[in-house]
Amino acid sequence: MKKSSVLVCGGAGYIGSHTTVELINAGYDVVIVDNLSNSDRKAIEGVCQITGINIPFIEVDCCDREAFRKVFEQYEFDSAIHFAASKAVGESVAKPMLYYRNNLTSLMNLIDLMCEFGRHNIVFSSSCTVYGEPDKQPVTEQTPRKEATSPYGNTKQISEDILRDAVAATEGLKGIALRYFNPIGAHPSALIGELPRGVPQNLVPYITQTAAGIRECLSVFGDDYPTPDGSCIRDYIDVVDLAKAHVKAIGRMIEVADAPRYEVFNIGTGRGVSVLELVTRFQEVNNLKLNYKIAPRRAGDIVAIWADPTKANDVLGWHAERNLDDTLAAAWAWQKNLETL
């Protein structure tokens, strides 16, 4: 039996495409909008192949309010998930206005149109970057947000505040912000995965491209941090597990009438893994040797962060299920399959 429909803004992207699969698996209808500025139609083709469903896709920029309005006029949906944002920390430092204009305008347009058309539920794609360099680990939802270290991180903080304030001012509107830690991996089918344009900004695509011979050498930025092996520590969450958290969030807003109208959840595994540990595990799991070197520290990198996911476990009923070895095997399978897609 079909549940309600969900608008997925940025649904051709890495997390958006995996979330679309999980929404369909859970019985929801989905409409995708994406401007394809940092994504690819291949992702939508992969989603259709996995699910066996021809999903409506509209190429539209969420910053173009009038074009975006036509989606609301054409399709019925009760809920929306907002992934449509620029996401490279380094680029945001070089091009701050691009990030503020795109990330904030797209969300404000979504909220305005949801209110105008009487749609009720918004899940926002936030980030653990809102915590900055935390004073203690693991971080909970009560850990203070610190001043952002990049325009990208600042847009996540500001966007959370915009959604919170809009919910408080608008009867019937609900919002959930999911603070992701470090999404990695690919769908087990190897039909969708992370598809960066140009040089990857994230660790695992750079690892897989180095293993595939596309990149000559992987740089590990710093081995002199105050951690057991000197490299930075992060909480790596499988993208399929992350996608399922969005399904839980939509379900909570629809089904739990007495839930708070605005909520925040950490989405991570609760375990910190160092960069060097991840590189070693990738080599062992996939039985290959990576060409990597230690490079100087990178500006803006924090030493360590990992989640306390207790609230998501208890309130959303969500748990990270896929282990790191399976995740790294899926990432490599996706990289190898790219040549055939």
- CA–CA gap between residue 280 and residue 228 (Å, rounded): 14
Structure tokens, 194: 């992370």
Q: How many residues does the chain have?
A: 341
> Exactly one of 14, 99, 131, 152 is catalytic; which is it?
152
The answer to whether 177 touches 107, Cβ cutoff 8 Å, is no
Q: How many alpha carbons lie under 13 Å from residue 208 in its C-beta half-sphere?
A: 25
Contact 84, 8 (CB under 8 A): no
Exposure on the CB side of residue 85, measured as CA atoms within 13 A: 29
> 237-273 as b/e, with b when 16 or more CB fall inside 10 Å?
bbbbbbbbbbbbbbbbbbeeeeeebbbbbbbbbbbbb
Q: Catalytic annotation on 206?
A: no
| Residue 199: how many other CB atoms lie within 10 Å | 10
Q: Cis peptide leading into 138, omega within 30 of 0?
A: yes
Chain-centroid distance, C-alpha 329: 20
Q: Are 82 and 9 in contact (CB under 8 A)?
A: yes
Structure tokens at 81: 């998930």
Which stretch of DSSP H or E encloses residue 325?
helix 324-337
- Give backbone dihedrals phi and psi of 288, rounded to 5 degrees, phi first: -145, 170
- Alpha carbon 3 to its chain's center: 23
174 token code pair: 């609900």
Residue 55 near residue 192 (C-beta atoms within 8 A): no
d(Cα 4, Cα 22) in Å, to the nearest integer?
14
| Residues with catalytic function | 152
